[in-house]
A and B are shown apart, each in its own frame.
Chain A
Amino acid sequence: MPVYDVRGRRIGRVKDAALVPLVNSSRVDRYLVGGGDAWLTVRYDQIRSISLKGIFLIDEQLTPYHDDEYMLRLGRDLLDQQIIDVTGRKVVRVNDLTFELHHDGTRETLIVSDVDVGIRSILRRLFQGVLPPRWIRWLQQPIPPNSIRWEFCNVVEPDPLRRLRLNISYQKLEQMHPADLADIVEELAPAEREAIFETIDSEVAADALSEIDPKMQASILESLEPEKAADIVEEMAPDEAADALSELEDETSEDILDEMEAEPKTEVRELLEFEEDTAGGMMNTEYVSLSEDASVKDALQALESSEELLESLNTLFLVDAEGRLSTAVPLARLFIASSAARLKQMAADTLIQVTVDEQQDRVVELFDKYNLLTLPVVDADGKLAGVITADDVISVLRQK
């Protein structure tokens, strides 16, 4: 697009344009105009009008272009690159950009409105300047447009300093379901993955990381600073944390463990002791256990104090004075019992349990045979050591 100065003389053509996201996230702030040897920078407030004929200026004071860290260049940094479509929950490649023209009395500005993906935008990029515009529109007509609102796009930038200057954050990603976020992250390059895990909230990161393939988990944790990795691992379920750490080299996993807080650290360390393909390696230590003579009221109190487990909890365990597992109580029975009733009387008919060194295949068999949701694991003395839940078994089966 040609650029004309105040007196209508042609200065050059627009070679690229840039946003300055720190000032405004969607307004095209600079136009980079190439005429002779050097490029010139036109600021948005130096422009009178923008049309298909060209850009007309109201100001003559143009500065030569120099690469500026605060600029997100549309042609160089956005076109043909991968971005995250937050609403569509996937990684897409930018084929084209759509602008909106804004009037505000004295001047006209361009606002980035959509990012185009799909065949329609490919056709325009391919044939622009090769075929007459009318033909291109005719070719495009039968294809529905496929674009994403600019505000739902997330640019990925591995360099932390530049990320700050370009005002890129991944907060939008934190709203996604962790499994979707995990899918997105798996599609990105390692440096970009690291960038996302470095900046998002540790809790979200932990949930997403749990959903990622074990080998990739390891490479992500390895690439992070040990402190950040420890923050994330602390938020993971202990069994998943142990699985992830066991994939790492001993030295790296020690570094991460050193940075962790005392309580999750001991839990994870204990789990790390077990062989991966035994009940001990599969179990987690997130369960609720009560004494044998506890009442329904006690149970409700115990549940109140372990709120973070409620989402997936379905069984309570009763242990004797020495911590040995005696019975299991299905959670739903609590609803139809009076508050003074003893839990012991509501116990499931048979108690199915395994020891920590039971083979993984056997555990899977038990889940299948008895249609289990939860299976308690005991140590050599019969003390409750942890539980295996159905999702652990599903992961095992999926990996085969």
Chain B
Amino acid sequence: MPKLLGRYRYQLAVFFAVIGPGFITANVDNDAGGIYTYSAAGARYGYLPLWTLVPITLVLIITQEMCSRMGAVTGKGLSDLIREEFGLRITFLMMALLVIVNLTNVMAEFAGVASSLGLFHVSRYISVPLAAVGVWFLVVKGDYKSVEKVFLLGCALYVTYIISGFLVKPDWKEAAIYSVKPVLMLDPGYIYMLIGMVGTTIAPWMQFYLQSAIVEKGISVKEYAASRLEVIVGCITTDVVAFFIIVACAGAIYSLKPTDIQDASEAALGLRPFGQYAFLLFSAGLLNASLFAACILPLSTAYTVCEGLGFESGVNRNLREAPIFYFLYTLLIVVGAGVTLVPRFPLVQMILLSQVLNGMLLPFVLIPMVILINKHDLMGEWVNARWHNAVSWITVVIIIGMTLAYVGFALRGVH
């Protein structure tokens, strides 16, 4: 028995040796926002949105690859580079937007905590404050690095969606057709959801997080090839999970009756083939994802902003050395958790909205990224290839177009 345990530990060690920033980012990507957005898409529109996953994956790979390349070549974070090349005003504006959008994302994570434990009738007035205090202390005082491994293992719960995706016996023919056949509808709800799907998969904060993680890990240009492979594998994993969440929800919910998901118990139906365990599995997966992202998001935001604006940052500094860092970090958690405690706060709608805001902010992060990565004095021979640029610019145009279309509908009140 000890021998078996030893072997098991050895394999775990190997597993954790190969995972790096790319894989972690990919897993955090499927946070509360991700799970709900994909579930909502499948439940409301069935297989229709599947076609977006291929282009979204492509764009995800390209953006993540650009970030990790910039990190490896320059050794600087994204907000550092933006500050150095675009000056203070643009940096400030961008950081302000990022803080607002990320704050809604933090709210989404705590809403995820609330709704996952709500399934077991744990009041959110207990679960959310506990989670907020727990996260704060874990990251500032505790040993986050070892807990991170637990979170990563917890991500294995996504496998339940893959199993469920098969067990609900979805219409594979239809799923296959819609995976490649683009369906565009000038329906505000559909556009809203598409923006959300882009935003949840290619979240702006991830670009900052990934690049900093690459820099912090000290990955050099020479080691970059391995790291790129990891990024690509991570991106594909993310979207495979996304595919199965949509398929499972399409098969289990949409095929009976197209539904707008309002709460966790409806979303958990995506795991219906697991019978009485569906709630438990859904709740555990969602809780893990929410806490994981709740640890990373406020911290990454505080780092990014302080780096860009030149304030001291880092949990290895004390409160007096880095006051603004701690202020921002604490503020994000307190406000993010606090808002979800407002009575009758629409948890699920909030989660979906945060992902849509992600999507709307994305072009404004992509544009400076593409400009930076094409600067020869910064990147040397590592500047973007032409098709890279083409895909990036097309993405920017499409997302801005969708955002404008949605805003246009909203203004004309076509709801």
The contact of B310 among A93, A189, A191, A216, by CB within 8 Å, is A93
CA A199 to CA B78, docked complex, whole Å: 28
> Is B310 a contact partner of A126 (Cβ separation < 8 A)?
no
Q: Check: A190 CB closer than 8 A to any chain B CB.
A: yes
Nearest A residue to B89 via CB reads: A126
Residues of B within 8 Å of A333, CB to CB, are: none
Nearest A residue to B87 via CB reads: A80
> Is B220 a contact partner of A190 (Cβ separation < 8 A)?
yes
Residues of A within 8 Å of B148, CB to CB, are: none
> Is B87 a contact partner of A79 (Cβ separation < 8 A)?
yes
Q: Which residues 60-104 of B have a CB within 8 angstroms of A? A: 74-76, 80, 83-84, 87-89, 91-92
Residues of B within 8 Å of A122, CB to CB, are: 88, 92, 309
> Is B84 a contact partner of A80 (Cβ separation < 8 A)?
yes
The contact of A90 among B76, B87, B220, B312, by CB within 8 Å, is B312
Q: Which residues 203-250 of B have a CB within 8 angstroms of A? A: 218, 220
> Is B89 a contact partner of A189 (Cβ separation < 8 A)?
no
Nearest A residue to B223 via CB reads: A219
> Is B88 a contact partner of A126 (Cβ separation < 8 A)?
yes
Q: Check: A50 CB closer than 8 A to any chain B CB.
A: no
Number of residues from B at the complex interface, CB < 8 A:
17
Q: Which residues 254-284 of A have a CB within 8 angstroms of B? A: none
Q: Which residues 25-82 of A have a CB within 8 angstroms of B? A: 79-82
Nearest B residue to A190 via CB reads: B75
CA A242 to CA B189, docked complex, whole Å: 63
Knowing A80-B87, A215-B218, A216-B218 are in contact, say whether A95-B310 is a contact too (CB < 8 A).
yes
Residues of B within 8 Å of A93, CB to CB, are: 83, 309-310
CA A90 to CA B322, docked complex, whole Å: 12
Nearest B residue to A124 via CB reads: B88
> Is B83 a contact partner of A80 (Cβ separation < 8 A)?
yes
Interface string of B304-332 (1 = CB under 8 A from A): 00000110100000000000100000000
| B269 to A: closest C-beta gap in Å | 46
Q: Which residues 172-194 of A have a CB within 8 angstroms of B? A: 188-191
Nearest B residue to A216 via CB reads: B218
The contact of B89 among A92, A125, A188, A190, by CB within 8 Å, is A125
> Is A80 a contact partner of B75 (Cβ separation < 8 A)?
no
| A126 to B: closest C-beta gap in Å | 6
> Is B92 a contact partner of A92 (Cβ separation < 8 A)?
no
CA A221 to CA B74, docked complex, whole Å: 18
> Is A125 a contact partner of B88 (Cβ separation < 8 A)?
yes
> Is B92 a contact partner of A126 (Cβ separation < 8 A)?
yes
Knowing A122-B92, A189-B76, A219-B218 are in contact, say whether A92-B310 is a contact too (CB < 8 A).
yes
Nearest A residue to B321 via CB reads: A90
Instruction: Name the residue in A80, A81, A94, A188 with the highest tally of chain B Cβ atoms < 10 Å from its Cβ.
Output: A80
Cβ contacts A to B, 8 pairs, < 8 Å: A81-B84, A93-B310, A95-B310, A117-B310, A125-B88, A126-B89, A189-B74, A219-B220
Given contact pairs A81-B84, A93-B83, A117-B310, enumerate 4 new A-B contacts (beta carbons under 8 Å).
A80-B84, A80-B91, A126-B92, A189-B75
